[in-house]
């Protein structure tokens, strides 16, 4: 556990296909039957990793719907993939001082409020304050956008409620969690 970020909790989902004959209770279309496991995996230390919570659903339930049960106030930093990008939930988490780092979809709307001045640290391309929407509002929570390039020159965007880490350190924790 890091003193800076607490425990890491990785929130993600996996889909399991079932034969129609055995999985009619989980049928999601005429030809497909599948379930989803929405999991919160805690990395308390490099040696201590364990599943902490799971929400089972049929595969047609989106990841966003399960975030309510998996992202709760605690001494953890949540690392999530882009399936959990719900602007209102992110704003609520920030208001509740829930620390999170989330990869954003390309089509995610961000309104730049203030560009930060920083020395480009290798892979970091941008690091502004943003609102997660197409229009700024005075009552919205400010979040941090980190745009970076990975080792294979692919561009990614992260949004986070964490302000006390450098952009480069935020990437380290995200990479450690496998996002």
pLDDT in tens, 40-49: 999 988 899 9
pLDDT at residue number 166 = 80
pLDDT in tens, 48-70: 999 999 999 988 898 999 998 99
pLDDT in tens, 73-117: 988 999 999 888 888 899 999 999 999 999 998 888 888 888 886
3-state DSSP of the chain: CECCCEEEEEEEEEEEEECCCCCHHHECCCCCEEEEEEEEEEECCCCCEEEEEEEEEECCCCHHHHHHHHCCCCCEEEEECHHHCCHHHHHHHHHCCCEEEEECCCCCCCEEEECCCCCCCCCEEECCEEECCCCCCCCCCCEEEEEEECCCCCEEEEEECCCCCCHHHHHHHHHHHCC
């Amino acid at each position: 556990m890091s003193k800076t970020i607490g425990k890491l909790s990785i929130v993600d989902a996996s889909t399991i296909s079932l034969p129609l004959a055995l999985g009619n209770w989980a049928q999601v279309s005429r030809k497909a039957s599948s379930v989803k496991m929405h999991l919160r995996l805690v990395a308390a230390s490099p040696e201590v990793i364990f599943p902490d919570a799971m929400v089972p659903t049929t595969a047609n339930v989106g990841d966003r719907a399960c975030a309510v049960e998996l992202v709760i106030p605690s001494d953890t930093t949540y690392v999530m993939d882009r399936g959990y990008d719900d602007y209102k939930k992110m704003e609520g988490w920030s208001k509740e001082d829930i620390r999170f780092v989330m990869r954003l979809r390309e089509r995610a709307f961000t309104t730049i409020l203030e560009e930060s001045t920083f020395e480009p640290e290798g892979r970091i391309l941008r690091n502004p304050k943003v609102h997660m929407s197409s229009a700024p509002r005075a009552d919205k929570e400010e979040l941090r956008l980190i745009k970076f390039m990975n080792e294979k020159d692919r561009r990614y965007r992260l949004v986070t409620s964490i302000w006390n880490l450098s952009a480069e350190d935020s990437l380290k924790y995200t990479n450690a969690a496998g996002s």
